[in-house]
Structure 1
Amino acid sequence: MTHQKIYFDCRRHAERGVLEVVPRIDRIPLTDLIDRFEMDAGMQPAGDAYGGLVPQFFRFGAMEDHFHGRSTGAMGPKTPVLGCECGEWGCWPLMASITVTSDRVTWDSFEQPHRKTRDYSGFGPFHFDRHQYDDAVKALSAAVSSDET
């Protein structure tokens, strides 16, 4: 099985100046991947609807817990991997199931909870080597922690 590589970009939100986290899969921002998928599928609205997660706006907990699918149970069984372009994840989130095994992490079963009729079965799944994934999450955690100080 082929594994993708995951990275997390930490950048300043263009309008609010707060730290925004955008996953990259094989170096392509997840925002670009989902925009392309939704536009190719003819979904409306589509394109430039998603942004990164803003830890300052919502207490996701430890990044290790969040990106291992163990974030707060108030979100249900799926985990927000992107938020709205406005910076609020609850406004327009991209949700995914995150499954962690000893050697792999899988993101699949994507959904846009505000548009239940949308079919994301052709998006993903994304499989990551567990060690590479954990290293990327540790780097993300360090970046988020240093931003909070």
Structure 2
Amino acid sequence: MANNEIRFDRRQRDDRGVLEIVLHIDGTPLTELIDRFEMDAGMQPAGDAYGGLIPEFFRFGPMEDHFHGRSTNAMGPKTPLLGCECGEWGCWPLMARITVTPELVTWDSFEQPYRKTRDYTGFGPFQFDCHQYDDALRVLSAVIGSDADDARV
């Protein structure tokens, strides 16, 4: 399977005045990918339901730990990748299993925990080169720690 490319974008949410992290896979926001999948599958509600993660609203811990699936013990075995469009991840999260090997980071077993009957087996898996993934995470962590108003990671 070909590797995907990950990018973590940081942006200010004008409606809430907070930092939001939006994930991009192969240049497309994960929010768009999941919206398209859910709408094509006839899921309701669907479309514009998800937003990025807002670290200020929840203590995810270090981004490296979170996006390696190590910060979610209190949330179960899966990791929230997206939150609700309202800004709260617990309201309407997209969860996935994150598996890390020396070569690859894999996201699979996606779920919307509040709609257990939804079938996401056709969504993903996404596999990232471990070095590219970790480089993107290091940039994200550096940008989150900076005072820049708006940066693209």
- Class of the TM-score when normalised by the shorter of the 2 chains: over 0.9
Query: SS at the partner of 1:65?
Result: helix
Determine the structure 1 residue equivalent to 2:131: 131
Determine the structure 2 residue equivalent to 1:30: 30
- Rounded Cα–Cα distance in structure 2 between residues aligned with 1:79 and 1:96: 5
Query: SS at the partner of 1:59?
Result: coil
Amino acid at match of 1:27: G
Shift of 1:72: 3.4
Determine the structure 1 residue equivalent to 2:77: 77
Shift of 1:26: 0.3
Shift of 1:85: 0.4
User: Which ranges of structure 1 fall in alignment gaps of 5 or more residues?
Assistant: none
Amino acid at match of 1:36: R
- Rounded Cα–Cα distance in structure 2 between residues aligned with 1:76 and 1:141: 24
Instruction: Provide the aligned length of Structure 1 versus Structure 2.
Output: 148
Percent sequence identity over aligned pairs: 76
Shift of 1:14: 3.4
- TM-score, structure 1 as length reference: 0.97
RMSD: 1.1
Shift of 1:12: 1.0
Shift of 1:138: 0.7
Amino acid at match of 1:110: F
Shift of 1:145: 1.6
Is contact 2:20–2:54 with CA below 8 Å preserved after alignment? yes
User: Which ranges of structure 2 fall in alignment gaps of 5 or more residues?
Assistant: 149-153
- TM-score, structure 2 as length reference: 0.94
